[in-house]
Amino acid sequence: MSPLLCRPPAISSARLPIAPPQRFSIAAATPKERDRIYQIRHEVYADEIHQHAVNEDGRLHDALDQANVYLVAKWDHELCGFISLTPPAKTPYSVEKYLSREALGLPDTSKLHEIRLLTVRKPWRGSEVATLLMYAAFRWVESHGGEHIVAIGRHELLDLYLRLGLERGGSVIQSGAVTYHLLARSVRALREHLEGFENLMGRLEEKVDWKLSFGFRKPVACFHGGGFFNAIGPRFDHLERSHAIINADVLDAWFPPSPKVLAAVREYLPWVARTSPPTACEGLVEVIAQTRGVSYCNILPGSGSSDLIFRALRHWLTPSSHVLVLDPTYGEYVHVLEQVIGCTVDRFLLSRSDQYEVDMERLEAALAGEYDLVVLVNPNSPTGRYIPRDHLVALLKKAPVSTRIWVDETYIEYTGAAQSLEPFAARSENVIVCKSMSKVYALSGLRAAYLCAGAHQLEALRSITPPWVVSLPAQMAAVEALLDPSYYQARYNETGALRLQLKAGIEALGWDVVPGCANFLLCHLPVPGPSAAQLVEQCRPRGLYLRDAAAMSSQLGSDTIRIAVKDAETNARMLGILTGFF
């Protein structure tokens, strides 16, 4: 394999077991299992450790059991252990039998959960059962929006609780012959603690049949820009600050939408706000097809490209699918492919020494592989490099027809409308073009996008497309934008000139700037000097928000910044701020 094509390590089929090994199962207790839990509680807490007195019924339960959640571990249908959770409620927590709420010093109890009764039967003590149950309880609290956990842990199990991240609360409690310690911690702190135990989590995941309604692992969100909203407020409390803040961490257009867009939305805004849009975006689809020179059946609308990425890729692919992506590229793709679907993803590595340009011969060789999907962002983000249309068409004609080729053209208009593959994709068996209307039409806040492909590629997706998928303001704005190409072409021309001016100014600071073609620049900071993360933090108090690109790819180091192109005045402000650090 080429050293510039990165593939996860394969597992030899010769080492795979013929049948899956037996594993512990973790599930919520059924009503029938609750009675068995009460019997085991009596066996352990009365007969064995003498916390409670023995009773004739041979069962232990209390008033909290009416609200408690029990999670159970089983081996071949036999109950091995359990743990109980008390969710936030008006009824007291179990720990309040020993300490008052004031003495506990607990935080806001509306987000406080109590973990109690961690119990493992004798045959399974010393196994993974106790750790699995504790982790399951933590995931239950985390997935249900809990913010704090309190527990009382038996002295004999104190080391286990501490290893898993709980901290002593200072109080020691005696109940019968048993000594308990007060333990507590925030869910956020516990999550940070557990991130240091990735190997343990992997081993546990292999040994458990997880039957809870939430995942074994917390889903990983894809990081995007947009940090500037921290200054405005997520509830839009300080919209007046939008004029002073420079949101160069996102790639929104620096120019306003077409005057025709603004006029249409403003004139009819009261009606637009209260009126349902055309169900299937019929008018918008007609205009897209008309302006792109394709048929109505070649267009599928969506509420932004992310909607289409999630909708299409999750429908087409499975965990057994094999996908090729550029690296670096737009992070949403790898997130959906690896974290959401669970595909095997190969990375076509792009090098700084080649200024992240795609080697076409090497890509042609890679496309000969048996991939289910190949994702090409063109122009690429965050590099700003692009493959000319003729070169890309020649390449894609050689690709196996069985491989879907997804071409993301979010920024293609900055290179010229003639560079789009839409007419080619509409006639193709396996090429799909994804077009966002956010960045090039200044409609990021309205969310409109579409796929252009052969009708056979879109047929199944139509059945899972929700009605009214694009809002009425977005449909109206997109139609007016498409019908005003001269306005936008003038803005694209201006963007090119502004990009060159910003590039020259940044290079004067000693930065290494990748030659791009869109409305942003990828830059490497000079050494010595601040890292990208340090520079991002230093600029925020001055109202400048930049994107630390290091997390976008292993190919981008800690010195990599992505910066959006703005109008001439704002570009000058950015350079003035940056000059203070270099």
For 168-226, the pLDDT digits (tens) are 888 888 888 889 899 999 999 999 998 888 888 888 888 899 999 988 888 776 666 66
Residue 470 identity? V
Backbone φ, ψ for residue 388 (5° rounding) = -55, 150
Among 387, 459, 453, smallest CA distance to 422 is for 453
SS3 for 494-519, per residue? HHHHHHHHHHHHHHCCCCEECCCCCC
**299 - beta bridge partners?**
452
Question: Exposed/middle/buried for 37, CB within 10 Å: 0-12, 13-18, 19+?
Answer: buried
Question: CATH 3.40.630.30: does it fit domain 5-210?
Answer: yes
Q: What angle do CA 378, 382, 386 make, to 5 degrees?
A: 30
Residues 148, 151, 154: CA angle, nearest 5 degrees = 155
Q: Nearest Cα to 149, choosing from 112, 179, 118, 177?
A: 112
Per-residue pLDDT reduced to its tens digit, 22-31: 789 999 999 8
Q: For residue 94, what are the CA distances in angstroms to 113, 130, 139?
A: 11, 20, 20
Q: Residue 6: pLDDT band by 50, 70, 90 thresholds?
A: low
Q: Residue 184 and residue 113: Cα distance in Å, rounded?
A: 10
Q: Which residues of 227-237 are buried (b: 16+ CB within 10 A; e: fewer)?
A: bbbebbeeeee
Locate all alpha helices (DSSP H) within 350-484, ordered by sequence: 360-367, 389-396, 422-427, 438-441, 455-463, 472-482
In 175-198, which positions are buried (b, 16+ CB within 10 angstroms) versus exposed (e)? eeebbbbbbbbbbeebeeebeebe
Question: What is the C-alpha to C-alpha distance for residues 457 and 451, in angstroms, rounded to an integer?
Answer: 10
Mean pLDDT of the chain: 91
Is 25 strand, coil or helix?
strand
Question: 497: buried, middle or exposed (CB in 10 Å: 19+, 13-18, 0-12)?
Answer: exposed
Structure-token match 């501490």, residue found: 162
Whether the per-residue pLDDT at 13 is higher than 60: the answer is no
**Under a CB-based contact definition with an 8 Å cutoff, are residues 454 and 260 in contact?**
no
Give domain limits for the chain: 5-210, 239-251+487-579, 259-485
**One CATH from 3.10.580.10, 3.40.50.300, 3.90.1150.10, 1.10.287.130 for 239-251+487-579:** 3.90.1150.10
Structure tokens at 441: 């039409």
Sign of CA dihedral 456, 419, 438, 557: positive
Measured CA to CA, the distance from residue 80 to residue 292 in angstroms comes to: 63
Q: Which pLDDT does position 108 carry in this prediction?
A: 66
CA distance 448 to 271: 20
Is CATH 3.30.70.20 correct for 259-485?
no
> Does the structure show a pLDDT above 60 at 371?
yes
Q: Could you read off the pLDDT of 108-120 as tens digits, one per residue?
A: 667 889 999 999 9
Residue ranges of E strands in 207-343: 208-210, 246-247, 299-302, 322-327
Q: Do domains 239-251+487-579 and 259-485 have the same CATH topology?
A: no
- Alpha-carbon span 510 to 502, nearest angstrom: 13
Range in 228-232, 270-274, 426-430 the model is least confident about: 228-232
CB 374 within 8 A of CB 399: yes
The CA-to-CA distance between both ends of the chain, in Å, stands at 42
pLDDT score recorded for residue 253: 96
pLDDT at 18: 41
pTM above 0.85, yes or no: no
* Mean pLDDT (whole number) for 131-141: 94
Per-residue model confidence (pLDDT) at position 265? 94
pLDDT tens-digit readout, 392-421: 999 999 999 999 999 999 999 999 989 999
Q: Does the pLDDT at position 461 exceed 60? A: yes
Answer yes or no: are the C-beta atoms of 422 and 392 closer than 8 Å. no
Which residue would you say has higher pLDDT here, 112 or 480?
480
